[in-house]
Amino acid sequence: MSEQLATAPSQLATLKGILSGEKMREQFAAALPKHLTPERFCRVAITALTRTPKLASCTQESLFRCLLDLSAFGIEPDGRRAHLIPYGNQCTLILDWKGLAELAMRSGIIAKLHADIVCENDVFEYNLGEITKHVIDWKQPRGAMYAAYAMAVTKEGPVFVAVLNKEEIDAIRRRSKSGGSGPWVTDYNEMAKKTAFRRLAKWLPMSAEFRDAVEKDGDEVEHDTSARQVSPARSAPLDPFAQPPGEAAFVTLPSGGVVPRDIHDAARAASNTTIEAETEVVHEVAEPSEEDMLATDLLALVSESTADNLAGYVEQANRDLTGAKQEMVKKAIQARAKALGVKWDKERGAFV
């Protein structure tokens, strides 16, 4: 026992020495964006080690892998946007919702992001995929938290919303390997916001950088089956995307299945069932179709496309997609074109 107590401070001093060295700063410098210096990043990393001494018991490989991932994302392990959590002898990277939001804003597609918890004494109204009211009386206690939501407004206009109740959030927490430690324990409300934001992000055309960060987030749950519907608000399309405004392309069921909205609505109308019973109605068609998968692939391609490729994606969407799925991809192309600073030229049939 005495050897273990003596070893921990020694390992901590060794790690701090490595982080203070020139070689480590050079590795961080090669990955960091311009707005962060390697000297500052190393100082924040050393502070994280001091704040969580158990990180010294993690393997150096796992610790430095997390730090190098963070440097590539341009996010500091400051305990606000990102956390380094010891899990056995492995260092685990947990991104806070504020860190994910920062990456989302850098994509150039999002104009505004907001996430919050909902408490018993708040006035909160959520109907048909839209949050119509959230009023907080700061003069009195808000009461117990019972839900969380995230909302994104794109630069092109559409608004996306995700709402989860506390039972759904806690179910996701139980499936997380870090659910019993770290920010889930010390900052539950922030992690609840992050859970809603992660659900929302799956429906947004994000950059490759953002998707990489989500994949490397150690709090990711492989089978996240508990979330409410995420719905984009209606928006008038722009030329050359002359399609009627549509609803969200898919509906997420209580069972976790995802089905096209047209099938969902037809099944519900035919059975006249309540939302709680919808799982049985659409169970047989819950597997995504080839068109669903193509729409998903196109959204990923559009999010990192150059201006030269956008016209081809418009053509493919017109040729291979229909209805709400076609509309969703075209909105993503609109948003990407605006982020790239290009517009559709009718005469040339291209973005310039």
Domain ranges of the chain: 2-95, 98-216, 235-351
Q: How many CB atoms lie within 10 A of CB 242?
A: 8
Beta strands 231-232 and 159-165, pairing class: antiparallel
Structural tokens at position 68? 């190098």
Nearest alpha carbon to residue 231 among 123, 150, 116: 150
| Closest by Cα among 115, 211, 113 to 169 | 115
Rounded Cα–Cα distance for residues 101 and 40 (Å): 21
pLDDT of residue 145: 96
310-345 pLDDT, tens digit each: 887 787 788 888 888 788 888 888 888 888 888 887
Give the pLDDT confidence of 187-204 residue by residue, as tens digits. Answer: 899 889 988 988 887 777
Helices 208-216 and 60-73: angle between axes, nearest 10 degrees: 160
User: Distance between CA 52 and CA 84 in Å, rounded?
Assistant: 8
Bond prior to 288 in cis (omega within 30° of 0): no
Helices (H), 89-239: 97-106, 166-175, 183-186, 188-201, 208-216
Q: Which helix (H) or strand (E) holds 302?
A: helix 290-303
Choose among 198, 205, 207, 231: nearest CA to 97.
198
pTM score, whole prediction: 0.47
Arithmetic mean of pLDDT, 66-95: 86
How far is residue 322's CA from residue 319's CA, in Å, rounded to a whole number? 8
Residue 254 confidence (pLDDT) above 50: no
Q: How sure is the predictor about 121, in pLDDT bands with cuts at 50, 70 and 90?
A: very high
pLDDT digits (tens, 9 = 90+) for 34-62: 778 889 998 888 888 888 888 888 998 99
Tokens of 93: 């990277």
Which of 324, 299, 292 is closest to 313 using CA atoms? 299
